[in-house]
Structure 1
Amino acid sequence: MTKIKIASIGLGRLGMVHTQHLSELKEEVELLASFALDDAQLDYAKEHFGIKPYKDWKKMIDEEPLDAIVITSPTAFHPEMTTYALNAGLHVFCEKPLGINMDAVEEMVHAVKDHPNQIFQLGFMRRFDPSYQEAKRMLDAGELGEILYLRAYGIDPISGMESFVKFASDNDSGGVFLDMAIHDIDLVRWFTGQNPKKVWAVTNSIAEPKLEAIGEVDIGVANLEFERGMMATIVAGRSASHGNHVEFEIMGSKGWIRIGQEANPHYSTLFTQKGIVKPYMQSFPERFSQAFVAELKAFAEAVKVGSPSEIGANLEDGLESLKIAEVAKISAEKDEIVSL
């Protein structure tokens, strides 16, 4: 197999990003087609990326000579689309999360397990970002010592609130923990190699009261407790006044690292006895561009060699992160600590 024949499902904000990157990976993939319901999106993709447009995703899978599919639809459609594609013999890259809740992904889980020779990769792209990878390397090498505490921020700019309210009025996003905090939930699991034993979470909608009317919240804070007392705090939200705010800190017994807006690992903030290195901030549209490209390259390579990416998230990663996000939502609703 020289080039992976591939198509994309979904041409929304992230779907368009993935489709553009696929069109640029000319040595790895051959982008054949894209599905969307919006004519303007299809026209744009056809003009700029040379795809064959489809308004029926099943027809696209059935008619095109595909090896793989990239799914970037609303979360509620992930299970059905993944299951159909796997049963059609395709390798699948699916955006996070697996689905809206654990019950909704049961058939999808069976489909992935029933097709062990087909690659299934979940879109947790931050694993592929150079700064997060450098932190992982340092942890694995013991340079930070034992992990004591982790803290993460993932807050969208308030300028995008209006478009989100419109989207969430018609689609079930799954809530702030499933839709947003799940990136950092995955990273906490990736960095520590552990699942939490207890979760306590709270939410509010102070910045945008309209969210409550559609069953959404603005800010969600989840506190995770692990074995031996290690803790993590994850803050997710939609109302950062200055722009998209993404930050991750790891406090170790030998060092403390802060990953900021800069993708270059040399600009992560490292606190040691020798001094502090501070980050240079970039705009969010550029922040994870390297990671988006890298995860798609890793998926294409996995398909070629017939073996999953060592870095990419798999079914188990998706299930565990979904479970934790779901428990955080339950904890916030009940205002109580929930054990896993």
Structure 2
Amino acid sequence: MAVKKLQVGVAGLGRMGKRHALNFAERVPRADLVAVSSPDENELQWARERLEPLGVTVYKSYDDMLNHPGLEAVVIASVTAVHAEQSIKAIEKDKHVLCEKPLSTSVEVCESVLEAAKKKPHLKVMCGFSRRFDASYRDAHRKMQDGLIGRPSVLRSQTCDKLDPTGFFVQYAQFSGGIFVDCAIHDIDLALWFLGEEAKVKSVAAMGITAIQPDLRKYSDRDNAVGIVEFHSGQIAYFYASRMMASGQEDTTEIVGTAGKLTVNIAPAMNAVNIHDSMGIRREIPQHYYDRFEPAFLTEANDFTASCLDDTPVPIPLESSVQAVRLGCALQEAMITEKKIFFDQDGNRLDKATL
């Protein structure tokens, strides 16, 4: 008897799109990659050479791919500017959706995806925050839920990218939504996960500098930033984002509870090897985000597939992904305006003078 497999298409074949496509084509046992799309000729050529021999149909048009016979789910790895539009189109075509983060750099646009998904409750619609699928983060979350550290009270998390000498992220800042929406969004999502999806934000404050790329200021962005979020529950989240690490990718998290604390990747390492030489004792660390989280992306693909086939809840509620962008936008605004932003228990913004 043939085993039912999820029929998947991937939109966008850039850096992440290629990885998603290869995962679903070769490493997700319960899924078949049946179609891909990209408007970029170089990406299409890669797909023709790498994926067509596996039986994958290659489309230039996303709309044409949505009409592929038997297509059941879409992975959206296109540029952020079209994430929401393509997600809504897929939902309207009755397809499950796994979208790369963020849904949009606009809270209102994110909410439009949420509204579209609510009209099709039988569909699985999820924004992929990869750290929730990392084995270490999942273990830390389980330990926290088991009461190992008491009540979680403070979360400190950072995303620090390796320095790109080309300055690519300066031009990218025109579309990224800023360092909090683009870079720190994973840490914001972790705060919502560890401190509780129901946690209500009381205030946000942020500051940033342009240590290496002053041109970022014309796009209202920074290359290093710190954000602090206070919750009405009496908890605090502290975020540090940077784009200038010299040694490689440094993504770490600390969850402090009333009876202990948990740390994840507090001393980054590529593996268990230490190098002993004339420079001393040292170890290599992952150079880029995917080096650190490749297994998490595969777990994400398998978990999403299982959710679609078994009709179980998606691992990340879509509402949480919208809240992450809402919080990221507030932090970005606080950094640029140099003003603290306050919220009431219902999430409505308050003028500081009224407090």
- Helix, strand or coil at the partner of 2:205: strand
Task: Find the counterpart in structure 2 of residue 3 from structure 1.
Answer: 5
| 1:247 corresponding residue in structure 2 | 252
Distance of 2:233 and 2:171 partners within structure 1: 43
Of 271, 284, 293, the residue aligned with 1:288 is 293
Q: Point out the more displaced range, 174-183 or 21-30.
A: 21-30
Q: In the alignment, which of 129, 136, 139 is matched to residue 134 of structure 2?
A: 129
Worse-superposed segment, 280-289 or 72-81? 280-289
Counterpart contact for 1:129–1:263, Cα < 8 Å: no
SS of 1:206's partner is coil
AA aligned to 1:336 is K
Superposed CA offset, 1:80-135 (max 9, x none): 11111001010000111121111223432221100000001110110110110111
For residues 80 and 339 of structure 1, what CA distance do their matches in structure 2 show? 31
What SS class does the counterpart of residue 34 from structure 1 fall into?
strand
The partner residue of 2:21 within 19, 22, 25 is: 19
The alignment partner of 2:105 has SS state of coil
Question: What are the Cα deviations for residues 191-225 of structure 1, in whole angstroms up to 9, with x where unaligned?
Answer: 11124221101122121122223443211211011
* C-alpha distance 244-281 of structure 1, shift in aligned 2 (>3 A): closer
Q: Distance in 1 between matches of 2:269 and 2:189?
A: 20
Tell me the residue number matched to 2:277. Answer: none
Percent of aligned positions with the same letter in both sequences?
A: 31
Specify the alignment match of 1:163 in structure 2: 168
- Would you say the 8 A contact 1:97–1:122 is kept in 2? yes
Distance of 2:270 and 2:327 partners within structure 1: 27
Counterparts of 1:85 and 1:263 in 2: how far apart (Å)?
38
| Aligned partner (choices 43, 46, 54) of residue 44 of structure 1 | 46
Matched, 1:85 2:90: yes
The one of 113, 132, 142 equivalent to 2:118 is: 113
* CA distance 1:280–1:148, change in 2 (3 Å): farther
Task: Specify whether residues 320 and 62 from structure 1 end up closer, same or farther in structure 2 by C-alpha distance, changes over 3 A only.
Answer: same
Q: Do structure 1's residue 329 and structure 2's residue 341 form an aligned pair? A: no
Structure of higher CA gyration radius:
2
Please name the residue that 1:275 is paired with.
none
Match status 1:186 vs 2:186: no
SS of 1:122 mapped into structure 2: strand
Summarize the Cα distance change of 1:329–1:166 in structure 2 as closer, same or farther, 3 Å threshold: closer
TM-score (norm 1): 0.89
Match of 2:320 among 317, 326, 330: 317
- CA distance in 1 between counterparts of 2:336 and 2:321 reads 23
247-256 vs 172-181, greater mean Cα deviation: 247-256
Distance (Å, rounded) in 2 between the aligned partners of 1:325 and 1:161? 26
* Residue range with higher mean Cα deviation, 253-262 or 318-327: 253-262
Aligned-residue Cα RMSD (Å) equals 2.2
Residue 176 (str. 1) matches residue 184 (str. 2): no
Partner SS state of residue 63, structure 1: coil
Structure 2 residue aligned with 1:236: 241
| 8 Å contact kept, 1:205–1:218 | yes
Return closer, same or farther for 1:163/1:89 CA change in 2, 3 Å cut-off: same
Distance 1:157 1:128 in 2: 22
Give 1:212's aligned residue: 217
Q: 1:203 aligns with which of 208, 211, 225?
A: 208
The answer on whether the counterparts of 1:200 and 1:332 sit within 8 Å (CA) in structure 2 is yes
Residues 160 and 13 (structure 1), Cα distance of their counterparts in 2 relative to 1, 3 Å cut: farther
TM-score, scaled relative to structure 2: 0.85
Q: Deviations over 1:284-320 (max 9, x none)?
A: 44311111000110110011012223xx222111111
Going from structure 1 to structure 2, the CA distance change for 1:192 and 1:161 (only over 3 Å counts) comes to farther
Deviation at 1:137, TM superposition (A): 0.8
Counterpart secondary structure, 1:197: strand
- Tell me the CA shift for residue 166 of structure 1: 4.2
From 284, 293, 307, the counterpart of 1:302:
307
Residues 250 and 256, structure 1, Cα contact 8 Å, conserved in 2:
yes
Task: Give the 3-state SS of the residue equivalent to 2:148 in structure 1.
Answer: coil
Matched residue pairs, number?
324
Q: Distance in 2 between matches of 1:246 and 1:287?
A: 9
- Aligned-partner Cα distance in 2 for 1:149–1:157: 26
1:29 and 2:31 are equivalent in the alignment: yes
In structure 2, give the amino acid aligned to 1:2.
K
Q: Any unmatched runs of 5+ in structure 2? A: 273-282, 344-355
In structure 1, stretches of 5+ residues that fail to align are 267-278
- Report the alpha carbon displacement of residue 37 of structure 1 after superposing the two structures with TM: 2.1
Cα distance in 1 between the residues matched to 2:136 and 2:340: 32
Would you say the 8 A contact 1:262–1:287 is kept in 2? Answer: no
